[in-house]
Amino acid sequence: MIHRLKLPRRTFLKTAGATGAAALASPFLLPARASGANEKLTFGHIGVGGMGGYHLRDMKSRMDAGEVQIAAVCDLDERRLENASRTAGPQADVYRDYRYLLERKDIDAVVIATPDHLHAVQTVHAAECGKHVYVEKPACCTVAEGKAMIAACNRAKIAVQVGSQGRSQPEAYLAHRYLANGNIGKVSRVDCWHYASPAGATQPDSDPPAEIDWDLWLGPLRWRPFNRGYLHGTFRWLMESGGGQIRDRGAHVMSCAMWWMGADGTGPVTIEATGEAPKRGLWDSAVNINVTYTFQNPDWVLTWNQPGNPVPPEERTGQEPGGKITRPGYGALYTGSDGTFHHWGGDGGTWAERKAREWKPGAGAKDVYKSPGHKEDWFEGIKTGRKTIMNIEAAADVAILTVLGNLSFLLGRKLHWDHSKREIVGDEQARRLMDRPQRYPYVI
């Protein structure tokens, strides 16, 4: 088949576009090969700009150290794909359409770093091909997508790691251990803060540039004309494809909260949001939004405050363990019966308050899981079958928190949630918004 051939990069890209019809009919049922205990894992990268470029460079350094293999890179932007090809090396084939890459039996696992609206469909299709998956956060854009991802990944028995890497940071471990040992007593609320989302993008629609496959970029979304305001990174500010700051950084900060509170596998009973929508431009995610999630048994409250009341950053030097706090504009305040604790960041930079970093556990103190690193934790999951630190159930539930916050904001009313079914209850209009139509063939 054409996608198996090692063609010159430009020839391949032009030909792959012409053969897209063959990919539409291709089933996602081909199993990946099983890796032996001492065999290097072989990876494909889907989406290689932004975070995807970071992941590719990281994996290339591991390949150079003799730890892994990179067999393929994929992106719908030819310029990004050319850069990725140079980074990955001549052994890596190039693809514009991710479905060709997934058919490769020699690929064990994929790293997916595409816009949010592609995460679910690409993860489900990868699972149906037997590939282990590292997918960027947030896991999903709708409740239905999250449920489909959980079902597909569990059915395929693959290891999934979602890129809320805050859980794997060194100071995240210290914060978790500090809270788990009752240093601030019983925690009753966690208040997350973040600065406002931008508003704007007023340019007119246009033809897409030659290097971008607009149909592939839209994927499961309804068709609409190309506009520069939609991509690349600006997809974040559209409800359809990004969902604003709450679904971006919220998927980091609330991920830490759910992990440290021992709340994975649980969900709120009510969600209530208020906020302000943009008054002009293409972007429609909330500029300001405040959401209250109420949990029961145990009882506690999680809030998202955009903008909130940020805690001023500690004075740190670059030489201190963990380094200087470089992103103090988001984080969370934990309020317990015996005191408070706060952190800044929550993603690749997670900085814990000094008292948690300096706390020394005594005899009988509890320990908590200390991640060896987000990718290292995923590799262990692939090799042993152990659940990853940000497995698909935990990640989908965090993403669903952000989805429910946006739905409550859009509808202007409180929502009631049954986590045992992962369903909104008592509100038929809201229930219909748990899902949305998907454009064939980008369906799950």
Minimum mean pLDDT range among 15-19, 124-128, 284-288, 306-310 = 15-19
Host domain of residue 406: 167-364+392-432
Kindly report the number of other CB atoms within 10 A of residue 223's CB atom: 8
Q: Are residues 314 and 421 in the same domain?
A: yes
CB 76 within 8 A of CB 217: yes
Q: What's the mean pLDDT in 15-23?
A: 37
Q: Indicate whether 66 pLDDT > 60.
A: yes
Q: Indicate whether 27 pLDDT > 80.
A: no
Q: What's the mean pLDDT in 131-148?
A: 98
φ, ψ of residue 52 to 5 degrees: the values are: -65, -40
Q: Are residues 88 and 223 in the same domain?
A: no
Q: Which two tokens stand for residue 194?
A: 């973040």
> Where residue 23 falls among pLDDT bands split at 50, 70, 90?
very low
Q: Are residues 195 and 156 in the same domain?
A: no
Q: Which two tokens stand for residue 351?
A: 């900085």
Tens digit of each residue's pLDDT (9 = 90 or more) over 142-183: 999 999 999 999 999 999 999 999 999 999 999 999 999 999
Report helix, strand or coil for 92: coil
Q: Any idea which residue has 């919220």 for tokens?
A: 250
**249 in a domain, yes or no?**
yes
Q: Any idea which residue has 């084939």 for tokens?
A: 93
Among candidate residues 275, 297, 299, the one with its CA nearest the CA of residue 285? 275
Tell me, what DSSP letter sits at residue 69? Answer: E
Among candidate residues 169, 77, 188, 127, the one with its CA nearest the CA of residue 370? 169
Residue with the bigger pLDDT between 221 and 21: it is 221
Say whether the peptide bond before residue 138 is cis (omega within 30 degrees of 0). yes
Q: Which of 149, 165, 181 is the last residue of a domain?
A: 165
What residues are paired with 231 via a beta bridge? Answer: none
Q: What's the mean pLDDT in 254-267?
A: 98
For the beta sheet containing 300-306, the strands, ordered from the edge strand earlier in sequence to the opposite edge, are: 350-352, 339-345, 331-336, 187-193, 300-306, 288-295, 270-276, 415-418, 423-425
Q: Indicate whether 9 pLDDT > 80.
A: no
The per-residue pLDDT for 177 is: 98
Q: Which of 165, 183, 201 is the last residue of a domain?
A: 165
> Where residue 332 falls among pLDDT bands split at 50, 70, 90?
very high
Gyration radius of the chain over CA positions: 22
Q: What's the mean pLDDT in 105-126?
A: 98
- Residues near 320 by beta carbon (within 8 Å), at least 6 away in sequence: none
Q: Are residues 121 and 236 in the same domain?
A: no
Q: For residue 297, is it left (φ>0), alpha (ψ between -120 and 50) or beta?
A: left
Share the mean pLDDT of the chain. Answer: 92
Q: Are residues 239 and 115 in the same domain?
A: no
Helices (H) and strands (E) in the chain, counts: 15, 15
Cα-to-chain-centroid distance, residue 391: 11
Q: Are residues 137 and 179 in the same domain?
A: no
DSSP 196-257: PPP----PPP-PPPTTB-HHHHHTTSPP----GGG-SGGGGGSTTTT--HHHHTHHHHHHHH
> Where residue 32 falls among pLDDT bands split at 50, 70, 90?
very low
Cα-to-chain-centroid distance, residue 204: 30
**437 in a domain, yes or no?**
no
**377 in a domain, yes or no?**
no
Q: Report the CATH number at residue 209.
A: 3.30.360.10
Q: Are residues 414 and 296 in the same domain?
A: yes
Residue 444 CA to residue 143 CA, distance in Å, equals: 13
Q: Are residues 85 and 230 in the same domain?
A: no
Among candidate residues 169, 166, 132, 190, the one with its CA nearest the CA of residue 392? 132
Q: Which of 110, 141, 165 is the last residue of a domain?
A: 165
Among candidate residues 272, 358, 355, the one with its CA nearest the CA of residue 311? 355
**347 in a domain, yes or no?**
yes
> Where residue 321 falls among pLDDT bands split at 50, 70, 90?
confident
**197 in a domain, yes or no?**
yes
CB 68 within 8 A of CB 44: no
Q: Which two tokens stand for residue 178?
A: 């500090």
Kindly report the number of other CB atoms within 10 A of residue 312's CB atom: 8
Q: Which two tokens stand for residue 26?
A: 């291709």
Q: Are residues 24 and 144 in the same domain?
A: yes
The per-residue pLDDT for 322 is: 79
The per-residue pLDDT for 323 is: 84
Tell me, what DSSP letter sits at residue 75? Answer: -
Instruction: Give how many domains the chain has, as a whole number.
Output: 2
Residue 165 CA to residue 103 CA, distance in Å, equals: 28
Among candidate residues 391, 442, 382, the one with its CA nearest the CA of residue 150? 391
The per-residue pLDDT for 38 is: 53
**375 in a domain, yes or no?**
no
**383 in a domain, yes or no?**
no
Q: Indicate whether 6 pLDDT > 70.
A: no
What residues are paired with 192 via a beta bridge? Answer: 304, 332
Residue type, 40: K
Q: What's the mean pLDDT in 18-40?
A: 43
Taking the alpha carbons at both ends of the chain, their separation in whole angstroms is 25
Q: Are residues 33 and 172 in the same domain?
A: no
Q: What's the mean pLDDT in 103-126?
A: 98
Q: Indicate whether 123 pLDDT > 70.
A: yes
Q: Indicate whether 31 pLDDT > 90.
A: no
Residue 103 Cα distances to 75, 77, 108, 131, angstroms:
16, 21, 11, 10
Q: Are residues 102 and 207 in the same domain?
A: no
Q: For residue 419, is it left (φ>0), alpha (ψ between -120 and 50) or beta?
A: alpha
Tens digit of each residue's pLDDT (9 = 90 or more) over 401-418: 999 999 999 999 999 999
Q: Report the CATH number at residue 76.
A: 3.40.50.720
Angle formed at CA 60 by CA 55 and CA 61, multiple of 5 degrees: 100
Q: Are residues 142 and 42 in the same domain?
A: yes
**442 in a domain, yes or no?**
no
